[in-house]
Structure 1
């Protein structure tokens, strides 16, 4: 049984959390915030450079075991949809929350990652982590060619099915 005090507290929390959710930067149907960081070679890269493509933004780090385990699966997706990649219809953008450039580069090499990789090497202090409201990894966002969020935080079969459906329409 919920007493009046507990009920009031629950109502406050529900209203408060609803307000916070309504102000979320990453909502399906809304435009994804811009990301600009450096690639491993030091050149700057912006998410907006991928305009016109469906983009899987993969937030990951070399110190995150589930992220590392997911890299071969992402490689399979990248190879499966290589025609869409070649035809400028699909891309993966890896956004690393690493803090050690050497570890990050070694992982890129070890997994033979061919898709774009960027990082500011600021770990959890990266402004992008806050902007995209990331509190755990791996995390991803899928956007359409206009930068509108189509889905977020899909993994495994859910991600595979979503990509198959979305990319078959393009």
Structure 2
């Protein structure tokens, strides 16, 4: 009996699908997100690339509360969710960093923006009632921002310079996270202060 031309291809595709189910992907670790084929991993963005827009429904803090409106400041963008265990540790560290920098006179030069990935705004609000923070928090219920940033694990933290360029990306949360981020933030703030001082000197405007 003559076989139809497409029959073998169909069986081959089915076999490949079964093998794919058996061999991958690896189990999703705590704090990680299932990743669609179309979404790039966070590494694909990389340092030196302009930070994409990130915004959502404001659930805590005060505006401005989007990457575009906060341009001109050293900015920390962190993706989180109410069900993310490591986020419980990282968010207080970010809050302490923000308070320290604002207390040092950088209130207009530094900000933290948290982008929640909960599907329901109420879940994020419930989380923040128990663990409040001082910085603006938005919820992106449809995941536009997380896809733009290629978020695959949480917390995912992006350090952005005053010109909107991504300088550092952190995947997850570890013991060195707070100190490393703080050092980089201070370095960017000092570099920004030097640039502004040089500009003022060259233009004669203090």
Shorter-chain TM range is 0.7 to 0.9
Instruction: Give the number of equivalent residue pairs.
Output: 144
1:142 to 133, 154, 159: 159
Q: Is the 8 A contact 1:36 1:44 kept in 2?
A: no
Whichever of the two has the greater Rg, that structure is 2
Q: Is the 8 A contact 2:74 2:185 kept in 1?
A: no
Deviations 1:4-62 (A, max 9, x none): xxxxxxxxxxxxxxxx88x93x2211211112322127x99531101210000011111
Deviations 1:145-167 (A, max 9, x none): 12111111172322122123222
Q: How does 1:1-170 map to 2 (within 5 A)?
A: 24=44, 26-40=45-59, 45-83=65-103, 84-86=105-107, 88-122=108-142, 126-153=143-170, 155-169=177-191, 170=193
Unaligned runs of 5+ in 2: 1-39, 172-176, 194-206
Q: Which residue of 2 aligns with 1:7?
A: none
Q: Is the 8 A contact 1:58 1:141 kept in 2?
A: yes
Going from structure 1 to structure 2, the CA distance change for 1:44 and 1:74 (only over 3 Å counts) comes to closer
RMSD value over aligned CA atoms?
Answer: 2.4
Deviations 1:70-127 (A, max 9, x none): 11111110111114452x10000000111232221122232221111111223xxx12
Q: Distance in 2 between the 1:160 and 1:81 partners? A: 9
Q: TM-score, normalised by structure 2?
A: 0.62
Q: Distance in 2 between the 1:63 and 1:85 partners? A: 32
Q: Secondary structure at the match of 1:165?
A: helix
Q: Which residue of 2 aligns with 1:8?
A: none
